[in-house]
Copies of this chain bind each other. A is one copy, B any other.
C-alpha cells in the first residue's frame, strides 16, 4: 500500500493529546505521505499527556495560510482542551467542512474528543462513528450512530475511542487515504 505524494493536514491547537498527533504523524510519514500540522495559532502548540501539559510541537501552517483543497486527508486529534477551542473557531470549522463538501469526501480521521469539532461542522448526522465515551451523547444528539469499537469507518470517516486504539486507527486511516475520495451513497 503506497500513499506517497499524499498530503495530510493534522488540525490541532493547545491541549491536543500528544500521542494522538505524534502517532498518526509518524505512521503517515513512514507510509510515505507528508503530514502538515495546521493550527489557528502560529509558532508552536502545546501537547497534553494524560493529566498534564507536555512538550510543544511546531506549527507548519496556520489556518489563514492553509488551503483545504491542497490536502488529500484530514486528521483531528483529541485531548479535552484542543477541540473545545477548535470547535468555536470559524476558520477551523470551514476548513473541516471542506473535506466533506460535494458528492465525494476526502478521508477524515478523528479520535477521542476530536469528533466534537465535527459536531460544529455539521457533518455527523447519519454517520457510524465512535469517540471517547464522555462525548458519546453529544454525537448521538447530533445524529451520529455511535458504536463501541476500536475503529469505525463510514465512507472515509475514520474514528477511534482513545490512545489505546491508535494502531487500528492509523492502519485504517492509511487504507482510506490509499483508496482516495469516497463517494457518499
Q: Does A154 contact B (CB under 8 A)?
A: no
Nearest CB on B from A46, distance (A)? 9
B138 x A119 contact (CB < 8 A) = yes
Q: So how many copies of this chain end up in the complex?
A: 2
A-B pairs with beta carbons under 8 Å apart, 17 shown: A52-B53, A80-B80, A80-B84, A81-B81, A84-B113, A85-B134, A87-B137, A88-B133, A88-B134, A119-B137, A119-B141, A120-B137, A137-B142, A138-B138, A138-B142, A141-B141, A141-B142
The interface size of chain A toward B, counting residues with CB under 8 Å, comes to 19
* A141→B141 CA distance, assembly (Å): 5
Q: A84-132: which have CB < 8 Å to B?
A: 84-85, 87-88, 113, 119-120
Q: A119-B137, A119-B138, A119-B141 are in contact. List 18 more A-B contacts (CB 8 A).
A: A14-B51, A52-B53, A80-B80, A80-B81, A80-B84, A81-B81, A84-B113, A84-B134, A85-B134, A87-B134, A87-B137, A88-B133, A88-B134, A120-B137, A137-B142, A138-B141, A138-B142, A141-B142
Interface membership of chain A positions 51-63, coded 1 if the CB is closer than 8 angstroms to chain B and 0 otherwise: 1110000000000
Query: For residue A88, which residues in chain B have a CB less than 8 angstroms away from its CB?
Result: 133-134
Instruction: List B contacts of A14 (CB < 8 A).
Output: 51
Instruction: List residues of A (1-56) whose CB comes within 8 Å of B's CBs.
Output: 14, 51-53
Chain B proximity of A78: nearest CB distance (Å) = 11
Docked complex Cα distance between A87 and B135 (Å): 9
